[in-house]
Copies of this chain bind each other. A is one copy, B any other.
Amino acid sequence: MDFDKQMNSRITIVDVAKQAGVSFGTVSRVINNDVHVKKETRERVVETMERLGFVANRQARSLAGGKSNSIGVLVPDLGTGYIGEIIRGIDAELSLTDLDLILYTTHRTASKETNYVTNLATGMVDGLLLVLPRSPADFIGNLTQSKFPFVLIDHQGAGRDCPSVGAANWQGGYNATEYLTNLGHTRIGFITGSMDLGCAVDRLDGYRSALRTYHIPDAPELIYEGDFFQPDGYSGAQAMLDLPEPPTAIFASNDVMAMGVMDAVRNRGLRVPDDVSVVGFDDIPQASLVRPALTTINQPLEKMGRVATQMLLDLLKHPEKKADRIELPTHLIVRDSCKSPRLD
């Protein structure tokens, strides 16, 4: 049917070529901005493409060896607003170009990860943005060797030097703890994140270093191993508050757990910050909304997305560039959840 063709935009370069009276090779050149086309011819072709509503077929292009004009983003999941922030940054930056975004969620399945990566790197996308909080997978080696452009986000690369952007987690852990000690706290509880994640380890290390700096003795009972989810914040706080000598402040490795801490504190009839100070990490949107507003470490997630995208774009342009790691600074955001400890 005639109308069907128009409707479906099943217009190919051959159709355009016929209509414009040129060979389809010329149409291809026009599409790819090849210089070797007479201005006049180009105009005629462009006009025809518009008239026919031609839209190049992506799979054909990439199959034939051209660019796919899209970049792939691989994330573990969409569950935590955390990833959403990063994606927003990526999207914002990408919208400035004509590249499209293909999103893959691996749902923390290692096999899916590998599968996707090989698939994507085989022409489906021009570059890859990987949000892989877990341990470095083998395909990073492959990617590097095959010189496929990619950037790691928020991944504490275990020694490998490949392009990546992360946050100053250690610094954040240190600063928050330092702030608490300056307030006069000496019993500071810490709830870790999943310890198989580099960022969780770094935050804990920062906390420990600060204590050492301020000559506060180690107290293993004040370190509770969490998993970055709210319930662990709650139970961690409960456990610590049950101690004979409970902490006067609790520093949770992320905001979500800090909110769990707040709940636990309140459920015992205690108040934040009067009885217990609370600090979080991430500075997610909710942090400024809860009451009392949460003092936390700002981690520039959206910016991490943007910067990573810019790095990738740069890599796409200059494939020979050296890989480097960018570490974005974290900042202490003082709000209302901390106070000097009561004088007993």
Partner-B contacts on A (CB < 8 A): 4, 7-10, 53, 55, 57-60, 62-63, 68, 77-79, 81, 84, 87-88, 91, 95, 100-105, 107, 115-116, 118-119, 121-124, 142, 145-146, 259, 285-286, 289-291
Contacts and interface: CB of A to CB of B under 8 A. Distances in A.
Contact of A259 (B84, B104, B124, B289): B289
Contact of A53 (B63, B81, B105, B118): B118
Nearest to A115: B55
Contact of A55 (B78, B122, B142): B122
Given A88-B78, A289-B286, A291-B290, A142 B8 contact: yes
Contact of A10 (B55, B122, B124): B122
B8 A57 contact: no
A303 to B, nearest CB: 15
A174 B141 CA distance: 58
A288 to B, nearest CB: 10
A341 to B, nearest CB: 23
3 closest Cβ contacts across the A-B interface? A291-B291, A59-B59, A103-B103
Nearest to A285: B286
A76 to B, nearest CB: 11
Nearest to A145: B7
A101 B105 contact: yes
How many copies the complex holds: the figure is 2
A282 to B, nearest CB: 14
A118 B60 contact: no
A285 B81 contact: yes
A197 B81 CA distance: 26
Nearest to A146: B8
Given A8-B121, A81-B285, A289-B289, A105 B95 contact: yes
A301 B104 CA distance: 20
B55 A8 contact: no
Nearest to A72: B102
Contacts of A107: 95
Contacts of A291: 290-291
Nearest to A107: B95
A138 B171 CA distance: 53
